[in-house]
Structure 1
Amino acid sequence: MCIRCGRRCIQWMAVGLQWRQPHTGRPRMTELWRMGALEIAAAIRAGETTSRAVLDALRARIEEVNGHLNAVVGLDENATAAADAADRAVAAGEPVGPLHGVPVTIKECIDVAGCATTHGAAALSQALAPRDAPLVERLRAAGAIPFARTNMPDFGARGHTDSSLHGRTHNPWDPAVTAGGSSGGEASAIASGMSPLGVGNDVGGSVRDPANRCGIAAIKASTGVVPHASSVPPEEALITYQLMLGQGVLARRVADVRAALLAVAGPHPRDPLALPVTLTAPDPDARLRVAVAAEPAGCDVDPAIAAAVRAAADRLAAAGHIVEEAAPTGYERILDIWSALVMNDFRVLLPALEGVLAGGSKAYLTYAQELVPPLNSATVTALYLERHATELRWHRFLSDWDVLLTPTGATPPPDHDADIASLDGLRGALDLLRPMLPANLMGLPAAVVPCGMAYGLPVGAQFTARRFGDLTALAAAQAVEDACGVLTPIDPVVPPAGDGPAGAPLSAAG
């Protein structure tokens, strides 16, 4: 049925996953799976395609490439009815939201009503959520349609995505290296065209690291900007998670990240820590004040990655922004403070996790206990005092600068399981996180955008802003995207025969 003339029209037809538009005289649209979230929403509103057609195209893309990546681990059967309802709303001329009809993916630690919130763990494969998490509820209110779940390591406890329930997720750029973690399924799916937009969370780089590894854009929001709650026990959060956890959005384009962040931000009855913050963006013509630390103190940054970040800084300067080398003092202490506080908290949960923790995450936490010794109460208090002193320094620094530009990861993506090969492997895994951890330690927003390539793999520039300067961080990321372009979607590099991802078949949920 032609959605323009209201009758069956043989000229309005699918060509593979492409659409002709005879009534507008416009050229054929690109493959639907290649389009960004806002681009999809605009095409649906204009009657140039339908939500159902986009959903079918994304499912076909999953069928085509997910066997090589194991990024998508479940499909929500309710998405078909939701897409049809979205198309009826457009046909009836009803008001629609900014993401109307756009299928999106959801990390498996975020509740989707009727689906299992597995946290990547086999022991939670039947932990069905009775209701949506607040940010999923907000995505639906904006018109988006959750249609698939993405992989993560057990309980998000690694920077590599390898689940005892679903197996390993591969990086679409190189099957031999990690896709990052813990939102590696999201990043791999988005980079390979299986999803235009997804959501995750980040207490130690878990949104930004995979975005960096897979060549897409993302933001870890300021703590308290995006509400979080779960119906799957435990509902209570560790103190470090209360202070450092930020919900995040991932997409191929910065504009899509920004639109989704605005859609999900704001206080919520289920989250007492969510704040009534009004996010404000800089004037589109404003000259941003950009401090650059391509090799922050204490970070052993690979020279090719540092060079890509400096090149991004040069592009910002050429565009008229104020760019200088500068960084807050005490950068080299942040990993030590973060790891000591997080691991001290996590030890409280280890007895309860003993029966359900498996695979690489169990090995990771075993090494982590050896690397980070238990703390007494006086040491914990001293560390929280040092954390606040660091927060004060960064707050003053970011009063003089709009953003701090750094690498996202200090090194190229490591090989699979490098983090659990030895105690030194874990040390290396933590070292590569150093540029990302200030944003977690202090609850700051940090946006990531591809800025170049090194060793045939993407390099992400990271912009950290003052707390609640989320849209400023995204404005800087947009400026880099405008200068450097978009790297994805790509067709995944296929691993050699016999070396593919060890994933389970896709499950249906809902």
Structure 2
Amino acid sequence: MTDPNDLSARNLAAAIRSGRMRAQDVIRSTLDRVARENPAINAIVQDCGADAMREAEALDARIAAGETVGALAGVPVTVKVIADQKGYATTNGTTLAKDLIATEDAGFLRNMRAQDAIVIGRTNCPAFSYRWFSSNNLHGTTSNPHNPALTPGGSSGGAGAATAAGLGHIAHGTDIAGSIRYPAYACGVQGLRPTPGRVPAQNNTGPDRAIGPQLMAVAGPLARRVDDLRLGLEAMSGYAPDDAWSTPMPLTGPNLPRRVALVKRPGGIDTDPRIIADLERAAAILRAAGWQVDEPTEVPDIREAVDVQIDLWLSDAHSDKLAAAKLEGDPGAIALLSFYEERAKAIDVARFSALFTRRSRLIRAWRAFLVDYPIVLMPVSSELPFAQDEDLNGPEAIARLWEAQVPQIGIPVLGLPAVSICSGVEAGVPCGVQLVAPPWREDICLEAGEVLEAAFGLHPPA
């Protein structure tokens, strides 16, 4: 049998639908790969193998009976432990939620199952999904498949590591400050943050989310190929009445000018020379493909967006968050929340209300900019992937790491889609670039991302 891992998700599903490959063989092969590779990286922390094999057997029977099956027929996928999956604990990396068993699937997963995707496992994240690293007291530490000295990213670090190791074709992740884009960057794969409302992400276990996460947190795909991101987005998307922000928008839109704004140092950040070189290489690739690439001298503010993001997310109900982190006993969560404690104490009702006025102004400025430049090419991070657990080295380290993440953190406040595209892995150190587009135009991100992917020479379609 052809190794399923060598095929794109689209071609794998086509082979299964046609009967050229059996879903049972594909899933068994993938689970065998998990058994070989996962112990070294601890990316998958909840095993779904028995359910996956039963679903594969049922799918093969439907195909044999001549039934029509979905676009992800038999494709192995993973789900982050932050999301509801019927029969499994929605732990979000905490011992506090180890017994929080979901009684139904989240909306994105219902949609993926409707397309006959098969979940082979659930992936790790940091406690409460706060950090750029993926370790916790319940599930342990996830390692970067390219280099165990580096973080696999966070908070969807298990998804990034699983994808890089070939443990499933499409991984579900979530992103409120970079938690899809950074693990994709750190693990040398591709990761898409969709527009808020595109992918239904409501969990019906536990309480509803606070206003900041409601406005900024999204679910989306990680994969080794850009077309797998496209297929994953198509499968995850769709209106869900139990998600207050779910919006039934088309996946494609009218043609826009092929104009790109190259922004090497958003917010004036000091960017690593290798990242600058890859941005310049990406700009040259897009120019050669017929895109106009400019370096505008005036770009809307992104640092203020970062400030608004931190206050909407981390400062809101900060004392409750810190108390939960201390009860969990997680050093990374405690370190981060303690770092922002004094800032959070300064937030009163008037200041919190003013955040929304500031957010509206920033959104208007960026939307106007994106009329002229429908794609912004910028860093994912200003540094190469961090050393594992580097945020535990004190407040100065946390300040430096969050400064490096300015290009990611500001985007969720603006309500924009963005994709992280791997530009290569050198001496065990991945790198990548970020593409940002107007709201609901993930299709443009993916179009430009495919141009870069082909020229960077990574993961050719199969």
* Paired residue secondary structure (1:73): strand
3-state secondary structure, aligned to 1:355: helix
Partner residue in 1 for 2:19: 47
> In the alignment, residue 200 of structure 1 is paired with which amino acid?
G
> Aligned residue for 2:216?
244
Matches within 5 A, 1:110-125: 110-125=83-98
Partner of 1:479: 451
For residue 338 of structure 1, what is the aligned residue in structure 2? 309
* 1:86 shift after superposition: 1.1
- Give the match's secondary structure for 1:78: helix
* Partner Cα separation in structure 1 for residue 38 and residue 97 of structure 2: 23
Task: Report how many aligned residue pairs link the two structures.
Answer: 458
> Which residue pairs with 1:442 in the alignment?
414
Q: Which runs of 5+ in 1 are unaligned?
A: 1-18, 20-28, 490-510
- Quick one: distance in 2 between partners of 1:316 and 1:373? 46
Q: Distance in 2 between matches of 1:376 and 1:126?
A: 35
Q: Kindly provide the amino acid, as one letter, of the partner of residue 204 in structure 2.
A: S
CA offsets, 1:92-139, max 9 Å, x none? 221111101112100001111001111111222221100001111100
CA pair 226-392 structure 1, distance change in 2 beyond 3 A: same
Q: 1:412 and 1:71 mapped to 2: Cα distance?
A: 21
Q: Quote the residue 1:298 is aligned against.
A: 268
| Partner secondary structure for residue 316 of structure 2 | helix
Task: Work out which of the residue numbers 226, 235, 247 in structure 2 matches 1:254.
Answer: 226
Residue number in structure 2 paired with 1:195: 168
TM-score (norm 1): 0.86
Relative contact order (alpha carbons < 8 A, sep ≥ 6): 1 or 2 greater? 1
SS at match of 1:198: strand
What's the secondary structure of 1:317's corresponding residue?
helix
Name 1:375's counterpart in structure 2.
Answer: 347
Post-superposition offset of 1:282: 5.9
Q: What residue in structure 2 maps to residue 209 of structure 1? A: 182
* Larger Rg over CA atoms: 1
Q: Equivalences for 1:216-227 in 2 at 5 Å?
A: 216-227=189-200
Aligned to 1:25: none
In structure 2, the residue matched to 1:451 is: 423
Match of 1:469 among 414, 418, 441: 441
Separation of aligned partners in 1, 2:116 and 2:40? 30
Q: Deviations over 1:18-45 (max 9, x none)?
A: x1xxxxxxxxx3x223333212112212
Q: Is the 8 A contact 1:419 1:428 kept in 2?
A: no
- The 10-residue stretch of structure 1 (388-397 or 342-351) with the greater mean CA deviation from structure 2: 342-351
Q: 1:388 to 1:454 in 2, by over 3 A?
A: farther
Following superposition, the deviation at residue 46 of structure 1 comes to 2.5
Structure 1 residues 297-317: Cα deviation after superposition (integer angstroms, max 9, x where no partner): 232211111111110111010
1:362 aligns with 2:331: no
- CA gap of 1:239–1:348, structure 2 versus 1, over 3 A, is farther
SS in 2 for 1:390: helix
- Equivalences for residues 23-34 of structure 1 within 5 A: 29=2, 31-34=3-6
Instruction: State the Cα distance separating 1:383 from its structure 2 match.
Output: 2.9
Which amino acid letter does the alignment assign opposite residue 349 of structure 1?
Answer: D
Change in Cα spacing, 1:349 to 1:39, as seen in structure 2 (3 Å) is: farther
Matches within 5 A, 1:257-336: 257-281=229-253, 288-326=258-296, 328-336=299-307
Change (3 A) 1:356 1:229: same
| Preserved CA contact (<8 Å) 1:164 1:359 | no
Quote the Cα distance in structure 2 between the aligned partners of 1:342 and 1:230.
Answer: 18
Aligned partner letter, 2:259 = R
Aligned to 1:36: 8
Q: 1:172, 1:488 → 2: CA distance?
A: 20
3-state secondary structure, aligned to 1:416: coil
Asked if 1:127 is matched to 2:100, the reply is yes
Amino acid at match of 1:297: G
More helix by share: 2
1:159-198 matches, within 5 Å, as 159-198=132-171
- Mapped pair 1:144 → 2:114: no
Deviation at 1:485, TM superposition (A): 2.5
**Which range moved further: 144-153 or 87-96?**
87-96
SS at match of 1:381: helix
Deviation at 1:179, TM superposition (A): 0.4
Q: Is the 8 A contact 1:281 1:475 kept in 2?
A: no
The AA in structure 2 aligned to 1:311 is: R
